[in-house]
Amino acid sequence: MSIFTMVMFLIIIFQGATHLVPVPKLDGEFEKYERPSFSAQDFASGEYQRLLSRFIGYHYGFSEWTIRLYCQYFWSVYHRSPVRQVAVGKNNYLFEPYFVEDLYESRMYKYTTNPEELIQMFDQQSQRLAKVQAILAEAGVHTLVACIPGKTNIYPEFAPPRDTLTRPLGPRAIEVYPPLFDKYGVNYINLNQWFLDIKDTASYDLFPTLGTHWSNVASTFAFDTMLRYMGHISGQPLRPVVLSHLHEETSPRWPDNDLEKLINPLFHIKVNRPYKYVDVDYAPLPPNVRKPKAIVCGDSFFWNITYNFQLDSLFDYCHYWFYNSTIYFDSLFSSTHDSGFDYVDQLLSTDYLILFYCTGQLYDLGINTTDAAGNIITQALVRLCYDPQIIQAQIQQICQTIRGDANWIARLDRKATDRGLSLDQMVEEDARYLLFTRPEDYFPELAAPGIPTVRCSKFRNR
């Protein structure tokens, strides 16, 4: 037994040092711990030993198999998820917890405990979006919102129990926004309602058992519908898409099992229904029809579209502003926060601006409580109407107001220290946040009913 134990430890140490045996990597995000540098001071204090122990604990040989075995034990014995990011429902259906939260409480509590206040926020955002839509329409840019379904909205019967979610059910964004879009004339396509309408008759899964995003096949049909709607609002049909017949496959296509991968079981979780898919082809581009340009600003549900459609076959370009931050499929910028990024140039150069949000993220349609740069609706509204120097002058006026308030400055001083910023940087960041979350307070014309008449010089000179 002693010899066997020693041999096992030697094998583990050898594998950890050489990785001679190829082992599949674990799925998900993991904090990466680097091997600590040796110093006499850290050794004497025990810090080096602590850091080395942590490093070894995450990098020992065959650790992936050990973790998968533990996850399989957790699933098989307790029928529970070993990770917080996955909630287990009925019939092996897996869910992200924030969708479960939205089902039983709504995501209202992320912002407020007052339902009327939330509805007022949504109303204001709808009015702002209607103004942005009208302004961009003057430049030939078509704006629309795609309301994407969420898994608990379509399959509430398979959701996990309510458990600790005890707050009253508040307004849901997917129920509040569509009537407001109708009221203010915002272009939108309610794919959530479409999924509910076809739920009982569809011959394929609208959401996969083991995934959080809409299924590959359902998202493919949905985007084909969305392309037709885009052609309807612009009066310029897009290149027709040709979809194959439904066919079955023995294993899921990515990301139809993305939540299963987060669990990292040793064996695949059984699914009773077959996996069904369609393939996408493209009809020849009709004469006198050009491929349009598009900007999609939204959440991770758009990734399904990028996996199933060749975007360059449909669009001259289709830039994906992931959560209005990281930019994909564009070689010029890596983020909408880059110093060289210009909202006005980007918006006036496209043909479509698409806001693409699932039911759990629709609450964040232009609302961002921590980062004003993440608020695309107010960024677009302010920057399309006013030149940068006017905006900056207003920000400096807000900075003066902040500096005249001792309590405000004291709070920002503590916050600047915590974040490693100078006080001046923190003051300007706070001022910028105020301007782009409450622009009507600083530009009265934006608060008036109707479409603002003021335009920035780039818009006038386009």
Would you list the DSSP string of 70-122?
HHHHHHHHH---SSTT-EE-GGG-EE-HHHHHHHHT-GGGGT-S-HHHHHHHH
Residue 14 amino acid letter: F
* Domain extent for 406: 388-442
What local confidence, expressed as pLDDT, does residue 51 receive? 84
Residue 321 contacts by C-beta under 8 Å, 6 or more apart in sequence?
295, 296, 297, 298, 327, 336, 376
What is the pLDDT confidence band of residue 100, given thresholds at 50, 70 and 90?
very high
Give the end of a domain, one of 345, 365, 384. Answer: 384
Select from 384, 407, 432 the last residue of a domain.
Answer: 384
Are 129 and 187 within one domain? yes
Residues contacting 418, CB < 8 A, separation 6+ = none
- The pair of structure tokens assigned to 271 is 């699914």
- pLDDT for 69-82, tens place per residue? 999 999 999 999 99
Whole-model pTM: value is 0.90
> Are residue 378 and residue 398 in the same domain, yes or no?
no
Number of domains in the chain: 2
- Per-residue pLDDT of 405-421, as tens digits, reads 999 999 999 999 999 99
Q: How far apart are CA 52 and CA 195, in angstroms?
A: 52
- C-alpha count within 13 angstroms, C-beta hemisphere, residue 257: 17
pLDDT tens digits, 225-253: 999 999 999 999 999 999 999 999 999 99
* Alpha helix ranges (H) inside 309-447: 311-314, 343-348, 376-385, 388-403, 406-419, 423-437, 444-447
Cβ pair 217, 276 in contact under 8 A: yes
Q: Are residues 226 and 115 part of one domain?
A: yes
Average pLDDT over residues 340-355: 95
φ, ψ of residue 144 to 5 degrees: the values are -155, 155
